[in-house]
Amino acid sequence: MVTKKQGKNVLTDEYRYKILKELQQDPEISQRELARRLGVSLGKTNFCLNALIEKGLVKADNFKKNPNKTRYLYLLTPKGIEEKITLTQHFLQRKLKEHEELAKEIERLREEIKP
């Protein structure tokens, strides 16, 4: 559960959003599986996830019996749920803009090919 070491530009809005989303729909997910879904390394995933925990957006509960080690349930905290909603809205706005830009780019490319 250690953090430190590694810049702060690692946990972008995009990863924050994606991780919160994945955890919300499957809190039993492992870090390896999460890494696979995000398309990044285990190390980076571990770092980002712990950053979210540190920020209080995610709580890592132990499960499987009562003991207190290995294997977590990654649950969004109320603050995490709120943050995820905000991020989703921002993300949508960004994607809309990108979509528009892409349309322009495509028009440009078609123009370029035509003559």
114 binds a second copy (CB under 8 A): no
Please state, in angstroms and rounded to a whole number, the distance separating the CA atoms of residues 22 and 112.
40
Task: Please name the residues in contact with 6: beta carbons below 8 A apart, sequence gap of 6 or more.
Answer: 47
Strands 72-76, 58-62: pairing kind: antiparallel
Question: CB 17 → DNA: shortest distance, Å?
Answer: 15
Tokens of residue 23, six digits: 């955890």
Residues contributing to the site for a second copy (CB under 8 A): 21, 85, 88-89, 91-92, 95-96, 98-99, 102-103, 105-106, 109-110, 112-113
Residues contributing to the site for DNA (CB under 7 A): 1-2, 6-10, 30-33, 40-44, 46-47, 49-50, 64-65, 67, 69-72
